[in-house]
Amino acid sequence: MIKHILVSVDGSENSDTALTFGIYLAKKLNATLHIQHVIDVVFLENPFLHDLSGAMGFEPFMDFSGKLSDSLRQRGTQILADAGAVCKKAGIECKQYLDTGIVTKEICEREKLVDLVVIGQKGVNSQFDRKILGSTTEGLTRRLTKPLLISPGRFQEFNRVLLAYDDSNGSKKAMEFTVGFCKDMNLPLSVVTVNKDESVSLTILNSVKSYIEPYGIVFDTQKKSGNAENVLKSMMDNDPYDLLIMGAHGHSRIVELVLGSTAEYVIRNMNKPVIVTKG
């Protein structure tokens, strides 16, 4: 059950979309919305900035870090104010937090008291390299213990959910979350397993049916073969799914969240929202 949702905002377009998803879910689930902006201490301590200030002739840097910190705090305050205004217009009350520190660490601290974290697929620096998954997003997929919704650049309501399942502990946790999510949101669910051995797929999907049937949600199961990345990407691009849910740290390539894995490929390339749960 999701009753507390944390949205991390940084002023980017993807962040604005993440906030829209957060508001949408808060309304649907009657949940409390928490909005966080983190002033990145790594940026403040970047030696390049100090070298730059010296090169520009600032006498003993003229408290360059302090001035930059003040500027970033003002910017963060404005970002939160803008987010609050969006929430108010949508009829949603929100709690706001302006934190300073390492971004992933500060979000991980705030996630302890929420049920779901929402973040944009790419952050404020994505315009410099559109091929790279946002470093904060990548770090959070590895470190968060709560489910993480990674939003793309465009919002759309959820009408049907796809769960990637391989019978690992990670995907079992993902299934537990997904069933509750679909029941609370009143959404139909499709469960897909990707395996070359059809008999293994049938065994896996029979166990899925046994688990889900008592919950009374509308669902179907599908077995696929081939490359997991391509299968999931194709299903999300071409079939009527609005949200993909998958577990992290499973034993197969569907859910191993390591560099070059299916999960990272999907998160990096998906044009629709992805929720990653941890086993």
Query: Residues 8-29: pLDDT tens digits?
Result: 999 999 999 999 999 999 999 9
Do 158 and 243 form a contact (C-beta atoms < 8 A)? yes
Q: Are strands 32-40 and 94-101 parallel, antiparallel or unpaired?
A: parallel
Give the DSSP letter string of 147-173: -EEEE-SS----S-EEEE--SSHHHHH
Residue pLDDT, tens place only, 193-247: 998 899 999 999 999 999 999 999 999 999 999 888 889 999 999 999 999 999 8
Q: What is the pLDDT of residues 34-67, one digit of tens each?
A: 999 999 887 666 544 444 444 444 444 555 566 7
Which residues constitute the domain of residue 201?
A: 161-278
Tell me, yes or no, whether 42 and 146 share the same domain.
Answer: yes
Looking up residue 95, the CATH number of its domain turns out to be 3.40.50.620
Q: Which residue has the tokens 């940084």?
A: 10
List 91's β-bridge partners, or say none: none
Are both 130 and 231 inside the same structural domain? no
Let me know if residue 156 belongs to a domain.
Answer: no
- Helical H runs in 90-227? 103-110, 135-143, 169-185, 198-212
8 A C-beta contact, residue 277 and residue 243: no
Q: Look at residues 151, 175, 194 and tell me which one is the last residue of a structural domain.
A: 151
> Residue 63's pLDDT is what?
58
> Is residue 135 domain-shared with residue 242, that is, in the same domain?
no
Helix (H) or strand (E) holding 34: strand 32-40
Same domain assignment for residues 139 and 181? no
Q: Is the pLDDT of residue 126 over 50?
A: no
* Residues 171, 254 within the same domain: yes
| One domain, residues 131 and 259 | no
Q: Are residues 222 and 96 located together in one domain of the fold?
A: no
Task: Indicate the number of domains in the chain.
Answer: 2
Q: How far apart are CA 211 and CA 161, in angstroms?
A: 17
Q: Which of 112, 131, 151 is the last residue of a domain?
A: 151
Task: Give residue 24's pLDDT.
Answer: 98
Q: Are residues 140 and 183 in the same domain?
A: no
Entry pTM:
0.86
